[in-house]
């Protein structure tokens, strides 16, 4: 998924090997490091202290 795209609850946002992106607001990290949304909303990527986070801004 790209930034500003709308996702549904449970939809996969990022598939990755290792935690390149960390879970932010309304996202969860699966056992295989997959990031998925907990709520319906808009995807937002951000960087804080050198760590990449993925958020879902709820509607």
Band (59; pLDDT cuts 50, 70, 90): confident
CATH number reported for the structural domain that contains residue 43 in this entry? 2.40.50.100
pTM: 0.88
Structural domains of the chain, count? 1
Answer yes or no: is 24 within a domain. Answer: yes
Per-residue pLDDT of 7-31, as tens digits, reads: 999 999 999 999 999 999 999 999 9
Answer yes or no: is 35 within a domain. Answer: yes
Answer yes or no: is 33 within a domain. Answer: yes
pLDDT for the residue 19: 92
Of 22, 11, 17, 15, the residue nearest 45 (C-alpha): 22
Answer yes or no: is 31 within a domain. Answer: yes
Q: Are 17 and 11 in contact (CB under 8 A)?
A: no
- Give me the domain span that covers residue 38: 6-58
pLDDT for the residue 2: 84
Answer yes or no: is 1 within a domain. Answer: no
Answer yes or no: is 48 within a domain. Answer: yes
Answer yes or no: is 40 within a domain. Answer: yes
């Amino acid at each position: 998924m790209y930034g500003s795209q709308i996702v549904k609850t449970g939809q996969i946002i990022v598939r990755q090997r290792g935690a390149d992106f960390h879970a932010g607001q309304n996202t969860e990290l699966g056992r295989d490091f997959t990031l998925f949304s907990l709520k319906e909303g808009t995807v937002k990527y951000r960087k804080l202290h050198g760590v990449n986070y993925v958020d879902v801004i709820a509607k």
